[in-house]
Amino acid sequence: MNYERLQSDKKDILIIDDTPDNLRILSWFLTKKGYSVRKALNWQMALTACQTLPPDLILLDIMMPEVDGYEICRRLKACQQTADIPVIFISALDDVFDKVKAFQIGGVDYITKPFEFEEVLVRIENQLALRTAQLEILKLNAELENRVQERTWELKKTLHKLQQEMSQRQQLQNKLLEIVLHDSLTGLPNRVLLLKRLEEALNRAKRESNYRFAVLFLDCDRFKIVNDSLGHLVGDELLIAITSRLQESLSPFDTLARFGGDEFAILLENITDINIAIEVAESILEKLSLAFQLSRYEVFINASIGINWGNHNYEKPEYVLRDADTAMYRAKALGKGRYHVFYPAMHQEVIQVLELENDLRRAVERQEFVVHYQPIICLNTDKIAGFEALIRWQHPTKGLVYPTAFIPVAEEIGLINVINFWVLESACQTLQILQNHPHIKNNFNISVNLSPCLFSLTKFIAYVDQIIDKTKINPANLELEITENLLMDKSDNIKKTLDALKERKIKLVMDDFGTGYSSLSYLHNFPLNALKIDKSFVQFMQENQQNFGLVPAMISIAHSMEMKVTAEGIETEYQLSQLKKLKCDFAQGHFFSTALDLESVLNLIAAAPQW
């Protein structure tokens, strides 16, 4: 059935009449009323018109030649294509019109000649409206039937699928449990399964007073180097090999789990004392120290192991694992390739570090830092030549905290750059005060120690320029202290950065000379103005008065390269006199003064001391 007609505003009417005048009059009237009208003079024309495009309504004359209207109507109703088309009979007043027969064979209405056009129009509109409603009902019924069939089919499919799922459910659950609880690479239990077994061990320890267990947490120290340099495929192969060696040191009753990456955890059950766990750790370290013969490479690694002696006092299995992890990091901090046993105070130490990190973040926000200045003495004049800027943290509850306690933490949590730039700007503001002070005639230098990571910033020079422009200092009186670690970076960017500082007349000083690799090659390659001898070498002069160690050589090397030398950590008159004999240029230390606040610096300068 063609339901598209329901969407068209212009209905199609077929008039079957052998009288041309009737056709013309009706066609004119209906066309004028907005209908599409087709005409047929006999049965054959009517059949062709209906087969070409079924009309929405047929006006059929009773008195037709050869085949009368009744027969035409019967034939139309007998044909599936035209059976549902409404037929209105046309009859003259003087025709013999059998209304009962007309309705029995399928007619829906009749109109009489001569035509009353208003009547014709009303009857046509009524039948078309009925027809439209019938078609809409048929369409809705068809759609409903389709939906019922689709839903029935979907329900059958769903039922079939549910039956299949129920039959496969146990297998899928087993597979999913395997995936959830085991590592895909090594097949070992993962963190989830280990924690589950650890919880069982903890509960058993609470029930049975003689039951003991231990947890080992292991991290491979050189795995990342192998993985990054040789690729992940080699890394995966190495992890499988490590798993095999770990299993060699364990019994079938122990649980070895992989936590991802190169971390492993081991649960040792039914052990009598901590020494058994230590023996297992030593066995593992010994096995891992041997070369790993992989498919294409021979590699070496070591491991750091934390050992925690489990007991029933733990509330959660995660806490047992946490403390083993803490012990592992302590082993790593002590030099790697070793084990360390957890003791309760270690947890408090970790908490203190976390508190320090939080306090440090707040200190940056609240600007709780201050800068003190330690005098640097010219050994030719015995007068103050400058100052080194030294940061202090004015903690709200702990008082003055020295940089050795918080600078390493600042570097680890990414705050060192912010702190360094703050110190640099504070030092430049102090230098501005000294340069513009009406009673200070000397040109003092201020030295600032900078972290190597600052020099890798793309906008480092721009930041320095901004600070100099803001404070209006003479950059020739600014000294930046750098370490040997920075100079060991052979990248062109570091060299360009140092050259850019040199172009701005800023002096560059190598701090703690002699404590690192002390390669003389980078003394030639970088634009350094001075070296600072670490206080450990100065103290050695006091201990061995017959041999000054490396200090004379350091001074000689620096002078041969036209660099000045500053000795740090001067504490005695003897050290000072010997450094003067060695022609050392500058010195600083508690012998002269501790680090001072700005007001004390101004008072010291006003006192004009000499040593």
Asked whether residue 55 carries a pLDDT value surpassing 60, the answer given is: yes
- Mean pLDDT calculated for residue range 144-152: 89
How far apart CA 38 and CA 31 sit, in angstroms, is: 10
pLDDT value at position 14?
Answer: 95
Confidence band of 2 (pLDDT split at 50, 70, 90): very low
pLDDT value at position 564?
Answer: 96
In 483-599, beta strands by DSSP E: 507-513, 530-533, 564-567, 586-587
Common-topology check for domains 191-342 and 355-607 = no
- Mean pLDDT calculated for residue range 102-125: 88
Contact 238, 294 (CB under 8 A): yes
How far apart CA 221 and CA 188 sit, in angstroms, is: 20
Alpha-helical (H) ranges within 79-116 are 99-104
CA-nearest of 54, 61, 73 to 25 is 61
Architecture of the domain spanning 191-342: 2-Layer Sandwich (3.30)
- Mean pLDDT calculated for residue range 65-71: 88
Distances in Å between the alpha carbon of 412 and those of 406, 407, 417?
10, 9, 11
Asked whether residue 359 carries a pLDDT value surpassing 50, the answer given is: yes
Report CA torsion sign: 113, 117, 119, 121.
positive
Q: Which of 365-374, 404-413, 546-555 has the highest mean pLDDT?
A: 365-374
Share of the chain above pLDDT 90, in %: 58
Confidence band of 493 (pLDDT split at 50, 70, 90): confident
How far apart CA 588 and CA 606 sit, in angstroms, is: 19
How far apart CA 161 and CA 148 sit, in angstroms, is: 19
Instruction: Give the N- to C-terminal CA distance of the chain in Å, as an integer.
Output: 117
Give 299's strand partners.
292
| 93 vs 23, more confident | 23
Flag the least confident range among 174-188, 211-225, 354-368, 596-610. 174-188
Asked whether residue 94 carries a pLDDT value surpassing 70, the answer given is: no
| 142 vs 95, more confident | 142
pLDDT tens digit sequence for 577-606: 999 999 999 999 999 999 999 999 999 999
pLDDT tens digit sequence for 506-518: 999 998 887 765 5
pTM: 0.57
Where do we find the tokens 């000649």?
113
What type of residue is 453? C
pLDDT value at position 600?
Answer: 96
Asked whether residue 3 carries a pLDDT value surpassing 80, the answer given is: no
3-state SS string for 168-189: HHHHHHHHHHHHHHECCCCCCE
What type of residue is 551? V
Asked whether residue 459 carries a pLDDT value surpassing 50, the answer given is: yes
How far apart CA 452 and CA 157 sit, in angstroms, is: 68
Given this structure, which CATH class describes domain 355-607?
Answer: alpha beta
How far apart CA 321 and CA 318 sit, in angstroms, is: 5
User: Structure tokens of 55?
Assistant: 């009309």
Three-state SS at 401: strand
Q: Containing H/E element for 395? A: strand 383-395
The average confidence (pLDDT) of the chain is 89
How far apart CA 266 and CA 610 sit, in angstroms, is: 66
What type of residue is 338? R
Asked whether residue 178 carries a pLDDT value surpassing 80, the answer given is: no
Could you state, in order of their start, the residue ranges of all structural domains in the chain? 12-139, 191-342, 355-607
Confidence band of 93 (pLDDT split at 50, 70, 90): low
What's the Rg (C-alpha) of the chain?
A: 49
How far apart CA 600 and CA 91 sit, in angstroms, is: 128
pLDDT value at position 306?
Answer: 96
What type of residue is 154? E
Asked whether residue 115 carries a pLDDT value surpassing 70, the answer given is: yes
The set of residues, in sequence order, having a beta carbon less than 8 Å from that of 542 and lying 6+ positions away, is 571, 572, 574, 575
Asked whether residue 547 carries a pLDDT value surpassing 50, the answer given is: yes
CA-nearest of 519, 431, 446 to 483 is 519
The set of residues, in sequence order, having a beta carbon less than 8 Å from that of 47 and lying 6+ positions away, is 75
Fold for 12-139, please state it.
Rossmann fold (3.40.50)
Contact 280, 256 (CB under 8 A): no
- Mean pLDDT calculated for residue range 10-32: 90
Confidence band of 1 (pLDDT split at 50, 70, 90): very low
| 42 vs 176, more confident | 42
- Mean pLDDT calculated for residue range 408-429: 93
pLDDT value at position 236?
Answer: 94
- Mean pLDDT calculated for residue range 188-210: 93
What type of residue is 442? N
Report CA torsion sign: 461, 467, 470, 476.
negative
Flag the least confident range among 1-10, 256-265, 429-438, 570-579. 1-10
- Mean pLDDT calculated for residue range 553-580: 93
Confidence band of 491 (pLDDT split at 50, 70, 90): low
- Mean pLDDT calculated for residue range 297-310: 93
Q: What values do phi and psi take at 310, rounded to 5? A: -70, 145
How far apart CA 606 and CA 401 sit, in angstroms, is: 28
How far apart CA 583 and CA 580 sit, in angstroms, is: 5
Confidence band of 7 (pLDDT split at 50, 70, 90): very low
How far apart CA 220 and CA 503 sit, in angstroms, is: 46
Q: DSSP letters of 194-213?
A: HHHHHHHHHHHHHH-TT--E
Asked whether residue 92 carries a pLDDT value surpassing 90, the answer given is: no
CA-nearest of 75, 71, 58 to 110 is 58
